[in-house]
Amino acid sequence: MRASCEAARAVRRSSMPLAYFLHSAGPAAAPVRLLGWALAALCVGVCIAIAVLLVLAMRRPGSRVARARTGEHAVVDNTGDRDAHRIVAIGTAISTVLLLGALVAMLRVLAAVADPPRAAALSVRVTAYDWWWKVTYTTPSGARFATANEIHLPTGEPVQIDLDSADVIHAFWVPALAGKTQAIPGQVNHQWLEADHPGVWRGQCTQFCGAQHAHMALEVVAQTPGDFAHWLDVQSRPAAPPANAAAHHGEQIFAAQCAACHTVRGTRADGAQAPDLTHLASRRLIAAGTLANTSANRLDWVAHAQRIKPGSLMPDVVLTPADAHDLSAWLDTLQ
C-alpha cells in the first residue's frame, strides 16, 4: 500500500510542472492565460490602492483614529460631507470603468477561443466514465479504435474533442491547452485543443463525480505530425499474438478473468465497461494517471485496485503467483 501511494505521488511530481495551470502551450489556452494574469494584476492593484487610501484616511488630521491618538475631542463640522460624496462618486466611477473593461476583455477572450483558427482535420471522441477516460479515434481509412486516459495529437493542428459521459456529469480540463468543458450523459459537447510543440500535458476531471474524482486524470501527448501518424497506425492494429508459452497462458487467464470488462482487439476479450487494453504497455500511466505504467505497478493494480483507488469499478483479482507471472508476461507484450 505504501509503495502504491509513493508511486502515485511520484507520478504526480514527475508529470506536473509547478502550478501547471499557469502555463499555456497552444492558441486555445494562451488568451485565457493572459486574461488570468491581467485580472490577477488588476485585483492586486485594486487591493494595494484600497490599502493605501485606507492608511491615508486614517492618518488624515481630524480623523477618528488621529483624534484617538492625540486625545482630541470631536468637533462638529459638516464641511467634509461634500468631499466625502465626491470621493465616493469618483471611486464608483473608477470601479465601473475597471469592471466594464474586465467584462469586455473576458467576452473578447471567450470569442477568441470559441472556434479554432481553421477547421479541425481530426476529431477525437472522449467519453468520461467513473473514474477514467475512453478516447476513440477514427483513422483516415475509417477504422475506429479506442484507448484510455491518453490523448495523442499532432502539433500545430487544431483537434476537435467530442465530449460526453457514460454515467454522471464530469468536466474535461487540460489547463495548458484549453479551458474546461463539461461531459454530460446524453449530450455531446465540443472543444478544441491545439499544441504548439511536442510535449506531455496533464488534464483532470474538474467536476466532482464521486469517490475517485481526484484520481481521474489524463495526459495529452502532442507529437510531430509524422510521429502522430505512426502512433495512429500502430494503435489501430490488433494486439500481437502471444510470443511464448507464458504469454499464451496469460492470454487465457485474461480471457477467463478480465474479458467481461476489458477489450483486447485481436483476442476474444471484448468487454465494453473498462479501458481498452490492446496497447496497454505503450501508455505512460495507468488507472487514470494514478500509477506509472510498469510491470510491477500493473500487477499491483490487478491485485489491489481497491486499495489504490477505493470504490473504483475494477475489482481486486486474486491470482496464484504463477498465474500472476504469466498474466504479466502477456500484458507486457501489449505494446
Q: Which residues sit at the interface with ligand HEC, rule CB under 6 A?
A: 131-132, 148-149, 212, 254, 257-258, 260-262, 274-275, 277, 280, 283, 286-288, 298, 301-302, 309, 312-315, 317, 327
Please state the closest distance from residue 280 (CB atom) to ligand HEC, in A. 6
**Could you tell me the smallest distance in angstroms from the CB atom of residue 240 to ligand HEC?**
17
DSSP assigned state of 264: -
Cβ proximity to ligand HEC: between 12 and 60 the closer is 12
Q: Residues 9, 20, 181, CA angle at the centre, nearest 5°?
A: 105
Residues β-bridged to residue 182: 171
With beta carbons less than 8 A apart as the criterion, state whether 182 and 207 touch: yes
Q: How far is the CB of 193 from ligand HEC (least distance, A)?
A: 20
15 three-class SS? helix
Which long-range contacts (C-beta less than 8 Å, at least 24 apart) are formed by 29-38?
29/113, 29/175, 29/176, 29/177, 29/178, 29/179, 31/109, 31/112, 31/113, 32/109, 32/113, 32/178, 32/179, 34/109, 35/105, 35/106, 35/109, 38/105
CB of 51 to ligand HEC, least distance (A): 47
Closer residue to ligand HEC, CB minimum distance, 38 or 274: 274
* Helical residues (DSSP H) of 126-173, grouped into ranges: none
The count of other CB atoms within 10 Å of the CB of residue 209 is: 20
Distance from C-alpha of 120 to C-alpha of 141, rounded to nearest angstrom: 17
* Gap between the Cα atoms of 14 and 34, Å rounded: 26
Q: Which is nearer to ligand HEC, 63 or 257 (CB)?
A: 257
223 DSSP 8-state letter: E
Nearest to 73 by CA among 85, 62, 59: 62
Q: Which is nearer to ligand HEC, 149 or 207 (CB)?
A: 149
CB of 21 to ligand HEC, least distance (A): 23
Can you list the positions of beta strands (E) in 181-333? 181-183, 189-193, 199-205, 217-223, 285-286, 291-292
Report the alpha-carbon distance of residue 144 to residue 58 in Å, rounded: 70
Can you give the C-alpha Rg of the chain in angstroms? 28
Please identify, using beta-carbon distances, which residue of 168 and 313 lies nearer to ligand HEC. 313
Beta carbon nearer to ligand HEC, 174 or 308: 308
Q: Which is nearer to ligand HEC, 164 or 194 (CB)?
A: 164
Q: How far is the CB of 96 from ligand HEC (least distance, A)?
A: 49
The cell for 56 is 491615508
Nearest approach, Cβ of 300 to ligand HEC (angstroms)? 10
Smallest gap from Cβ 192 to ligand HEC, in A, equals 25
Minimum CB–partner distance for residue 291 and ligand HEC (Å): 8
Residue closer to ligand HEC (CB basis): 161 or 253: 253
Q: Which residue's CB is nearer to ligand HEC, number 202 or number 298?
A: 298
